[in-house]
């Protein structure tokens, strides 16, 4: 069944030990980094550890310093001198490891290290008694199967790398570091002193509370912005309602003084009655209505001496030869309002 939502939501958190609380903190920070803007994600970078690459006892190179922000964003600053008290992440040179993949049943995910160990003699190019392995990425392949990336190294190489920095705070021995300094494989992790663990516990707890505070502040800020937008929208709606109310009042006032409307049929009947008695050859140029008057104007032939129109036409000379201008008005029957 496909997983819904960001991948970090599906990472299990078990137990209440310090390592598991670190996982819980990382889980929270991953979620925060999904929505946080870039400036917030990269706020408060501080030095966390030094990255040192080991190839042999005579070739040990410092790759740079890993810095982390308050939200856990990580970057590798190269060509930077690290503080002496920083922990060291030892990275084995690529020539000291052998990378491969193992195909396993999906059920093996519950005890992945044991499942890989049982298959190690099939893929390891070195004797089993001197073999160490580390697990990298895990992904689904065919239904019911998973593919596990592993790195294999000699135990003697790991021990030699740790001894090369004897007296220093070596934190982990890993391999295949990416551009941010994060190792894909971790072969060995060295425990911290008890007092340092206690300090880390306090720091982790404080960071977790800080993440909740940041999250609350971000939601509060977003809510304030949304409220401000809604208030502006509400103000616009109120102003628009007032404008519509003013327009409605104007229309109501106009309705009291405006003449009652007539239907198209009433207008056609009135025009037909008014123009029936016009002399033949008359040309109507304008028809208009007033409150209760119909007015018709146009041209009529001058030769029509006997005017049979009712009421009589008022004639005036026109610029057209053989035609006079005429105009007459006729009262209209009043229109009564229908009751609602």
List, for residues 172-202, the tens digit of each pLDDT value: 999 999 999 999 999 998 876 544 555 555 6
Count helices and strands in the chain by DSSP H and E runs: 6, 13
Instruction: Name 287's Cβ contacts closer than 8 Å, sequence gap at least 6.
Output: 271, 294, 295, 296
Q: Which of 155, 179, 164, 167 is nearest to 90 (CA)?
A: 164
Which helix (H) or strand (E) is 252 found in, with range? helix 194-257
CB 18 within 8 A of CB 195: no
For 225-250, write each residue's pLDDT tens digit. Answer: 888 888 888 888 888 888 888 877 77
What's the average model confidence in pLDDT over 307-327? 75
SS3 292: coil
pLDDT above 70 (res 91):
yes
Neighbours of 275 (CB within 10 A): 17
pLDDT above 70 (res 295):
yes
As a dihedral over the C-alpha atoms of residue 24, residue 28, residue 33, residue 35, rounded to 10 degrees, the angle is: 150
**pLDDT score of 16:** 47
Place of tokens 């405006």: 258
For 264-277, write each residue's pLDDT tens digit. Answer: 677 777 778 777 77
Fold of 36-190: Dna Ligase; domain 1 (3.30.1490)
**pLDDT score of 116:** 92
**pLDDT score of 339:** 43
What's the average model confidence in pLDDT over 10-15? 51
User: Of the segments 142-156, 187-201, 325-339, which one has the largest average pLDDT value?
Assistant: 142-156
Averaged confidence pLDDT in the chain: 78
- What is the reported pTM? 0.50
> 52 or 29: whose pLDDT is higher?
52
Confidence band of 2 (pLDDT split at 50, 70, 90) = low
Cα 106 from Cα 100, distance rounded (Å) = 18
DSSP letter for each residue of 176-231:
EE-TTS-EEEEEEEPPPPHHHHHHHHHHHHHHHHHHHHHHHHHHHHHHHHHHHHHH
- ∠ CA 219-24-70, rounded to 5°: 55
Task: Break the chain into its structural domains and give their ranges.
Answer: 36-190, 264-331
**Partner residues linked to 26 by β-bridges:** none
> 115 or 199: whose pLDDT is higher?
115
């Amino acid at each position: 069944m496909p997983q819904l939502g960001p991948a970090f939501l599906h990472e299990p958190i078990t137990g209440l030990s310090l390592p598991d609380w670190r996982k819980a903190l990382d889980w929270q920070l991953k979620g925060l980094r999904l929505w946080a803007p870039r400036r917030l994600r990269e706020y408060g970078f501080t030095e966390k550890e030094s990255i040192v690459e080991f190839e042999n006892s005579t070739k040990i190179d410092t790759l740079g310093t890993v810095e982390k922000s308050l939200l856990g964003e990580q970057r590798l600053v190269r060509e930077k001198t690290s503080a002496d008290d920083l922990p060291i992440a030892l990275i084995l040179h690529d020539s000291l490891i052998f990378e491969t993949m193992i195909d396993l049943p999906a059920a093996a995910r519950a005890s992945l290290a044991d499942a890989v160990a049982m298959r190690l003699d099939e893929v390891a190019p070195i004797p089993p008694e001197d073999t160490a392995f580390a697990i990298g990425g895990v992904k689904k392949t065919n239904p019911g199967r998973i593919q596990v990336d592993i790195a294999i190294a000699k135990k003697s190489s790991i021990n030699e790398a740790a001894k090369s920095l004897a007296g220093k705070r070596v934190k982990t021995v890993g391999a295949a570091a990416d551009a941010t300094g994060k190792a894909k494989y971790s072969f060995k992790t060295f425990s911290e002193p008890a007092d340092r663990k206690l300090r880390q516990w306090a720091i982790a707890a404080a960071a977790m509370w800080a993440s909740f505070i940041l999250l609350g502040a971000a939601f509060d800020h977003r809510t304030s912005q949304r409220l401000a937008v809604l208030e502006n929208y509400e103000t616009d709606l109120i102003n628009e309602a007032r404008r519509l109310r003013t327009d409605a009042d104007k229309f109501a006032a106009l309705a009291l003084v405006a003449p009652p409307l007539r239907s198209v049929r009433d207008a056609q009947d009135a025009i037909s009655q008014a123009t029936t008695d016009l002399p033949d050859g008359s040309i109507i140029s304008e028809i208009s209505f007033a409150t209760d008057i119909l007015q018709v104007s146009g041209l009529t032939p001058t030769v029509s001496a006997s005017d049979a129109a009712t009421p009589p036409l008022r004639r005036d000379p026109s610029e057209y030869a053989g035609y006079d201008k005429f105009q007459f008005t006729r009262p209209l029957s009043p229109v009564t309002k229908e009751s609602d």
